[in-house]
Amino acid sequence: MPVPTHGAPRVLFASLSSPRIARAAILCAAFGALAGGVVAPAPALAKTAPPKPALDASAVAVPDRYGADTAQQIFAAGGNAVDAAVAIAFTLAVTRPDAGNIGGGGFMTLFMDGKPYFLDYRERAPQQANRDMYLDDKGNLVAGMSVVGHRAVGVPGTVEGMWEAQQRFGKLKWTQVLAPAIRYATDGFAVDPSLQQRRDAAVKSFTGKTNFDAYFSGLKAGATFRQPELAQTLTRIAGDGGREFYEGRTADQIAQQMYGHGLVTKQDLIQYKAVWRQPLSADWNGYRVITAPPPSSGGIGLIQMLKMKADLKAAFDGVELNSAPYIHLIAQIEDRVFADRQRYLGDPDAYKVLADKLIDDAYLAQRAGEVKPDEVPGATPVKVGLGDAMPEKAQTTHFSVVDKWGNAVSNTYTLNGDFGAGVVVDGGGFLLNDAMDDFVTKQGSESAGGVSGAEVNTVAPGRRPLSSMTPTLLLKDNKVALVIGTPGGSRILTTIFQVMTNLYDFNMAPADALAAMRFHHQLLPQKTIYFEPFHPVTGELAEQLKAMGYTLEEQSFNGDVQMIRVEGATPEPAADPRGVGVGRVIR
Ligand code: DON
């Protein structure tokens, strides 16, 4: 059936050269090497001879056990941190269809051969998108349109991101890193009860609106879930390279799925490119923080929080972790972080984003100076640009990898909401994102000054929506000391901040740093402190905060941190006890 391309010129897929049979042979070889724990010797597979190991083991922290098993196979085959990361990303695209993805996008922070890198494979707005596309003719937001269904979908970046990273830094063949994912899609995997729960929660918003049910009704706890169409898609991508997704049959399937319903065209896919950006970096506590630059707001926010807290050392002196006065001080820091976010941050390719100014020591010292231990919450307004028009959803996933050569990958990627827009590419078997909802979908109140927040994150063709994803590394003496990240929308940066503070200001062990109570505050709604069911806040602490003027609200989700600390020769992975993740040392 001919595939409509919305009038775009048909561009032939340049690298569709390897015959299918040869491809199948490569894949079979890769399967043979990776299946059943029988591993081919590294020298035959590696592109270059490995340098002398810096650590006595590799390690991963991943949100499910399948990702850990995949990493183990890849390391056994001689792969490095990037090979493992790319293989994990494709595996989670199969075993975590709510969050892992090939139909979404994300960020990867890397440390390779002694140098930091950052890869932006965030989704982009399609060329036909415009700032009012979610409004009705009276200028009101059409409920749900940026969240569910075809018009919520941005141009996906994950496959391009994985291809770029693996081509640049991987040691194994592309087919090898795809093989575990193809196996899970073909043979199936046992569904975790938590995945069924997320499916059950999401299905209500999709039923009758998208084809979600037809593909995912089989996600039942304990059942084996097979995805033959996805297996075919991954097999094509394995055989033909990452551009297949953007220029080959998969691109045609996406364009077909969108035709008449959504805005993403084949031309949008052809034009998609991942971008290598300069990572954001700052000195903190004797470490170098390497983190996500715009279009993430997370790296800026994280550095702002870390530095303001350090500037306020005197105010924090003797203040107990997670006590009411502690939460009050952090909430005031967070007010300022989120005010800057709303006012200044968006796609750096569309606007000059003042990242350096926002993490400048003198600026942060001045902002920290506005924080007052005895201030009544909300008494002094913190300037904001956009009111509360920054909705964020609850599903994304993060994994961390360190290899024995001292390389590291911190990767967060997302469909945005649980199961994205709920739209499955027919024939392709994968879900598409609803990342368009990370734009400001309705013009807010006027900006408070400088670059207007209302402008800087509005929908425009080709623009990347502002994100909070914050894959982060810490270096000590130019060696990896920590790899960390989490899902959680705007909670991402405040969660990472809390775990880092637990580790380095309060000297907690990794497992304790993850298990400790977390809270979140983000300027708007004002005076609201969010808590999590994992660690409910009751009794005296709750009473003290209410007496100070805060409203307490329980939220169902506050992160799934996957991190690896490296202090000695053996990396220490740790998975958040809130999820079903796995930390594994791999020798
Ligand atoms: O890019 C962002 O900030 C959001 N799309 C991330 C959403 C998210 O983390 C939801 N996770 N729990």
**Is the distance from the beta carbon of residue 488 to the nearest atom of ligand 1 less than 6 Å?**
yes
Same domain, 518 and 431: no
For residue 29, the model assigns a pLDDT of 36
291-325 confidence digits (pLDDT tens): 999 999 999 999 999 999 999 999 999 999 999 99
Catalytically annotated residue among 396, 470, 486, 495: 396
Mean pLDDT over the full length of the chain = 88
Q: Is 412 in the pocket of ligand 1 (CB under 6 A)?
A: no
Going from the Cα of 397 to the center of ligand 1, the distance in angstroms, rounded, reads 8
**Catalytic annotation present for 396:** yes
For residue 132, the one-letter residue type is D
pTM: 0.89
**1 located within any domain:** no
Q: Is 241 exposed, middle or buried (0-12, 13-18, 19+ CB in 10 A)?
A: buried
pLDDT of residue 444: 59
432 and 497 assigned to the same domain: no
pLDDT band at 380; cut points 50, 70, 90: confident
**Residues 174, 70 share a domain:** yes
Q: How many domains does the chain have?
A: 2
Q: Is the CB of 342 under 6 A from ligand 1?
A: no
Query: Is 297 in the same domain as 224?
Result: no
572 occurs within a structural domain: yes
Asked whether the beta carbons of 558 and 520 are under 8 A apart, the reply is yes
Residue 450: per-residue pLDDT: 29
- Across 465-485, average pLDDT: 97
Answer whether 411 contacts ligand 1 (Cβ < 6 A): no
- For residue range 199-230, list pLDDT tens digits in order: 999 999 999 999 999 999 999 999 999 999 99
- Taking residues 25-29, report their average pLDDT: 34
Please indicate, yes or no, whether residues 24 and 62 belong to a single structural domain of this protein: yes
Indicate whether 109 belongs to any domain: no
340-353: average pLDDT: 89
Q: Give the residue among 402, 446, 419, 405 at the shortest CA–CA distance from 564.
A: 402
Range of the domain at 312: 280-392+469-586
For residue range 514-531, list pLDDT tens digits in order: 999 999 998 888 899 999
Which residue's alpha carbon is at the smallest distance from atom 6 of ligand 1?
489
Atom of ligand 1 nearest to the CA of 416: 5
Answer yes or no: is 167 within a domain: yes
Mutate to test the pocket of ligand 1, among 158, 300, 345, 393 (most ligand atoms within 8 A of CB): 393
Based on the fold, state whether residues 510 and 571 are members of the same structural domain: yes
pLDDT classification of 8: cutoffs 50, 70, 90:
very low
Residue 447 belongs to a domain: no
* 78 & 98 share domain: yes
The residue among 66, 181, 104 whose CA lies nearest residue 413 is 104
Pocket test for ligand 1, best of 392, 418, 441 (most atoms within 8 A of CB): 392
At 490, which CATH number?
1.10.246.130
Residue 190's alpha-carbon distances to 65, 177, 202, 273, in angstroms, are: 11, 21, 20, 34
Instruction: Tell me which residue has tokens 């220490």.
Output: 572
C-beta 487 within 6 A of ligand 1: yes
Confidence tier at 442 by pLDDT (50, 70, 90): confident
Please state the rounded mean pLDDT for residues 248-268: 98
Q: Do 253 and 284 share a domain, yes or no? A: no
Q: Are residues 267 and 295 in the same domain?
A: no
Residues 269 and 286 in one domain: no
Assigned domain for 10 exists: no
CA of 153 relative to ligand 1 center, distance in Å: 14
Q: What was the pLDDT predicted at 456? A: 84
- pLDDT surpassing 70 at residue 368: yes
Which alpha helices (DSSP H) does 101-227 contain, by range? 158-169, 174-187, 193-206, 212-216
pLDDT for 468 = 93
Same domain, 291 and 350: yes
Is residue 464 situated within a structural domain? no
- Residue percentage of the chain with pLDDT more than 90: 79
Q: Which helix (H) or strand (E) holds 63?
A: none
Task: Render pLDDT for 549-558 as a digit per residue (tens, 0 to 9).
Answer: 999 999 876 7
- Give a yes or no: residue 494 inside a domain: yes
Q: Tell me, what amino acid is at 479?
A: K
pLDDT band at 454 (very low <50, low <70, confident <90, very high): low
Does residue 201 share a domain with residue 81? yes
* Residues with Cβ within 8 Å of residue 193, at least 6 apart in sequence: 221, 222
- For 340, half-sphere exposure in the C-beta direction (CA atoms, 13 angstrom radius) is 26
